[in-house]
């Protein structure tokens, strides 16, 4: 923590889980340290992007690009151990890792419920719905996402083999209105994000063709 009282408050990026119907916040998972980089890629949904696509209209786009994110984060127990946190002394960083790992598993209660239904001979077991996952990276980026990849490398342990330091790689796919529809909470958040991008785009200072060494487009 900085010793300067007027220093700006550092905000954290991370994951927020909300109820998709009520938007009630169910869990907040901040990253302990903000990564130094955030990788983003876009797959353009053009009319000719798929096999056999329509190549006669190359300027048309079928829908939002498929955006994927990659975040490399670190978790370290050192600060909490130095502060005398009793649970960290007992568990290391198990709590922090469990919070992230819960993003890729259904709830145990849901698994047990589906198992009971199967034993009763229910013909159709509906896949389990998870909370809506949001990736929050400042107020300008609140994105509905699906976790597509999670890998954990544990690097240090206490005498009880509790992990004390780990590197986490998190892969995310942004959910657009193509995935969840316009009426879903995730669709509203995606449209807010897209409209925010358009607002920022319009704030860009207009440049002249001369900066590119040309006077006009013939």
Predicted TM-score (pTM) above 0.75: yes
Model confidence at 4, in pLDDT bands (50, 70, 90)?
A: low
pLDDT tens digits, 109-160: 989 998 998 889 887 877 878 899 999 999 999 999 999 999 999 999 999 9
Model confidence at 48, in pLDDT bands (50, 70, 90)?
A: confident
Domain boundaries along the sequence of the chain: 14-42+61-106+127-203
Predicted confidence at residue 1, as pLDDT, reads 46
Q: Pairing mode, if any, of strands 142-157 and 132-136?
A: antiparallel
The helix/strand/coil state of 37 is coil
CB neighbour list of residue 96: distance below 8 Å, 6 or more residues apart: 32, 75
CB neighbour list of residue 102: distance below 8 Å, 6 or more residues apart: none
Residue 57 pLDDT greater than 80, yes or no: no
63 or 124, which is more confident?
63
Averaged pLDDT of the chain? 90
Spatial distance between the Cα atoms of 108 and 19, rounded to a whole number of angstroms:
18
């Amino acid at each position: 923590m900085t010793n300067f009282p007027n220093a700006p408050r550092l905000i954290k990026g991370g994951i927020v889980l909300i109820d998709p119907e009520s938007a009630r916040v169910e869990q907040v998972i901040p990253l302990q340290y903000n990564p130094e980089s955030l990788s983003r890629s876009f797959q353009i949904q053009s009319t000719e992007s798929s096999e056999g696509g329509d190549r006669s209209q190359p300027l048309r786009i079928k829908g939002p690009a498929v955006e994927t994110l990659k975040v490399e984060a670190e978790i370290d127990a050192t600060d909490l151990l130095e502060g005398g946190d009793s649970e960290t002394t007992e568990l290391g960083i198990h709590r922090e890792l469990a919070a992230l790992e819960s993003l890729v598993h259904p709830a145990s209660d849901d698994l047990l419920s589906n198992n009971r239904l199967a034993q009763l001979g229910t013909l159709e077991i509906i896949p389990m719905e998870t909370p809506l996952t949001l990736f929050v990276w400042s107020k300008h980026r609140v994105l509905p996402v699906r976790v597509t990849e999670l890998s954990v490398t544990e690097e240090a342990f206490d005498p009880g083999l509790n992990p004390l330091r780990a590197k986490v790689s998190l892969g995310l796919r942004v959910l657009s209105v193509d995935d969840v529809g316009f009426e879903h909470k995730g669709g509203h958040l995606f449209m807010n994000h897209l409209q925010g991008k358009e607002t920022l785009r319009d704030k860009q200072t207009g440049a002249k063709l001369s900066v590119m060494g040309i006077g006009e487009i013939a």
